Amino acid sequence: MDKNKSKRNNFIFILESFIEKFKIPIIVICAAVLLGIPFMGFSQYLMRIIIMIGIYSMLALGLNLLTGYTGQVSLGHAGFYAIGAYTSALLSLKLGFSFFPAAIGGVLAASICGLLLGLPTLRLKGTYLSIVTLGFGEIVKMVLTNWDKVTNGTLGLKNIPRPVIFGIKLTLANNGLYYMMLALVAIVTVVCVLIIRSKIGRALISIKEDEFAATMMGIKTTKYKILAFVISAAITGLAGAFYSTVIGFIEPNSFTFDVSTLIISVVILGGMGTIRGMFLGALILIAFPEAFRFLMDYRFVVYGLVLVFMMRFRPQGILGWKSQMPYKLPKAVRQQLEKLKTEGVKAQ
């Protein structure tokens, strides 16, 4: 009991119970700040970085589902990112799709590739799986580089149209892109939270904790691993589609192995297996090189140092604490328990 008490007095607990207590005001304040950012007079350049932070939050949320919750390390997410970006850009450039159908096309294409890549998980584990994903990323890049007729090769795709809503073209200048980013990040976050709190989420976490035990408990691990791949790829593809329309120009070199490692770094820095961490991770890693441009040559060295030091001193990530709040049973389980209890009482 004493141990429990000391646990309850620590910082995390105070923080968490504070958030729990003032949940609604905090959400309102955050929303107000986020919605108000465009009115703070930031330059377009800064707005663009903020949008990039949003895109990387999405990418990290996508990878987090696979790596943070299911425990499958992917080193090739730049591949899905590229597939999403290219598919949506091509649909809108060559077939004249408007942004939303084009983005859905990008998401579908990425999901299908996620399914294809997920299938080898039937046989591969751990490091070997990571290697296959790494190879996947490289192959996607090669296809983009060499399939000149469709992807325009190394020249890349230019003048990708901006999304239009109700006849209004969304741009950096009218902050349409920023609000769209907010909406997309919000949707992705909600989807992630819902998945994690559902039966699927619990199955994924059990695979990460102990795949063998999960199989023993009757969880179809293969099915869930592939599902994790597909969802993760879909989210990444969506981020890619949005990226292509924000930047307006994509080339194979925008999707290198470095991008894959950057996404992983965001996940790890923020805190694997948490949702909150993804935003902070993206904020730090995307803003860092921009804020420290004066370091010029040294900024990549510092970037490497950040990774090494994080792993050394806080490998669970900055926000990667275990929740100190008492575990809340999911609603369905709770109802069943109640039922059992009352039935038990009756039986007695």
Q: How far is the CB of 207 from other proteins (least distance, A)?
A: 15
* Distance, CA of 323 to CA of 104 (rounded, Å): 35
156: left (phi over 0), alpha (psi -120 to 50) or beta: left
Q: Is 164 left (phi over 0), alpha (psi -120 to 50) or beta?
A: beta
d(CA 130, CA 110): 18
For the four alpha carbons of 301, 304, 310 and 312, in that order, the dihedral sign comes to: negative
| Whether the Cβ atoms of residue 240 and residue 81 lie closer than 8 Å to each other | yes
Q: Least distance to other proteins from the beta carbon of 54, Å?
A: 14
Contacts of 196 (CB under 8 A, 6+ apart): 65, 69, 204, 205, 275
Asked if 226 contacts 119 with a C-beta cutoff of 8 angstroms, the reply is yes
For residues 184 and 283, which CB has a smaller minimum distance to other proteins in the complex? 283
Q: Yes or no: say if 95 and 121 are a contact pair by the CB < 8 Å rule.
A: no
> Which CB atom, from 74 or from 111, has the smaller least distance to other proteins?
74
Helical axes 77-94 vs 221-247, angle rounded to 10°:
50
Min separation Cβ 226 and other proteins, Å:
14
Report in angstroms the alpha-carbon separations of 83 from 79, 99, 316, 336: 6, 15, 30, 43
Taking the complex as a whole, the smallest distance from the CB of residue 340 to other proteins amounts, in Å, to: 31
| Residue with smaller CB distance to other proteins, 195 or 306 | 306
Structure-token pair, residue 246 = 């924000």
| Closest CB to other proteins among residues 224, 279 | 279
Q: Kindly state the smallest distance separating residue 334's Cβ from other proteins, in Å.
A: 31
Give min distance, CB of 298 to other proteins, in A. Answer: 7
- Shortest gap between Cβ of 159 and other proteins (angstroms)? 8
CA distances from 43 to 57, 182, 289 (A): 21, 18, 17
State the nearest-atom distance from the C-beta of 124 to other proteins, in Å: 5
Closer CB to other proteins, 148 or 338, in the complex: 148
* Cα–Cα distance, 146 to 151 (Å, whole number): 8
- Considering beta carbons, is residue 104 or 319 the nearer one to other proteins? 319
Closest CB to other proteins among residues 101, 126: 126
Based on CB atoms, which residue is closest to other proteins, 11 or 166?
A: 11
